[in-house]
Amino acid sequence: MQRYILTGAPGAGKTTILRRLRADGFDVVEEAATAVIAGEQAEGDAEPWTRPAFVEKVVDLQRRRQMKSATRNVTHQIYDRSPVCTHALTRYLGRPAPTPLLGEIERITRDRIYEPQVFFVRNIGFCEPTDARRISFQESLVFERIHEESYRRFGYDLVEVPAGDVADRVALIADTIARLTVRGT
């Protein structure tokens, strides 16, 4: 199975792209951090990302989702973020990477869980806040740079998905996966 990561700055359009890819028949694995935030907020914690255990909860959910999705009978999967994104988050929050996160990055690297090509969705010029995304556009640009640095640090090749029409962005991703699949067989 080929597992591709889709990442980028908050508000860059990843969710819209992933919805379209899913509608086009791609198997998509949802982002963990947003699910953890929503769950914690539903229990009354307005800002769960400020809690020490937040990163570990995200890493645990990422791992469980990856392991569960490995049993699906598909040839390609697209992941909305990965543990490398969680590493970028710890850097952005100014925290050291916790041991479970470093262990998960070691596992995904050692076992080559994800393809080395990562789809890096570039910002679209603004960032709309949500309950789970309370970040300004300027902050999102800093976060984008940190994401890029983290992926390069761990040896991934970034496939640029520039700002533009959603259909064009989706086509770029689908065409790249098709090309990489042909090359890999």
Residue 171: both structure tokens together:
């086509």
- Pick the closest to residue 180 from 122, 111, 116, 113 (CA basis): 116
pLDDT tens per residue, the chain (185 residues)? Answer: 899 999 998 888 999 999 999 999 999 999 998 899 989 999 999 889 889 899 999 999 999 999 898 888 888 999 999 999 999 999 998 999 999 999 999 999 999 999 999 999 998 877 676 666 667 878 888 999 999 999 999 999 999 999 999 999 999 999 999 999 876 54
- Cα 168 to Cα 19: distance, rounded to the nearest angstrom: 14
Domain boundaries, the chain: 2-184
Q: Whole-model pTM above 0.85?
A: yes
Residue range 6-45, pLDDT digits in tens: 999 888 899 999 999 999 999 999 999 889 998 999 999 9
User: Do residues 102 and 150 touch, judged by C-beta distance below 8 A?
Assistant: no
Strands 2-8 and 117-121: parallel
Tell me the CATH architecture of domain 2-184. 3-Layer(aba) Sandwich (3.40)
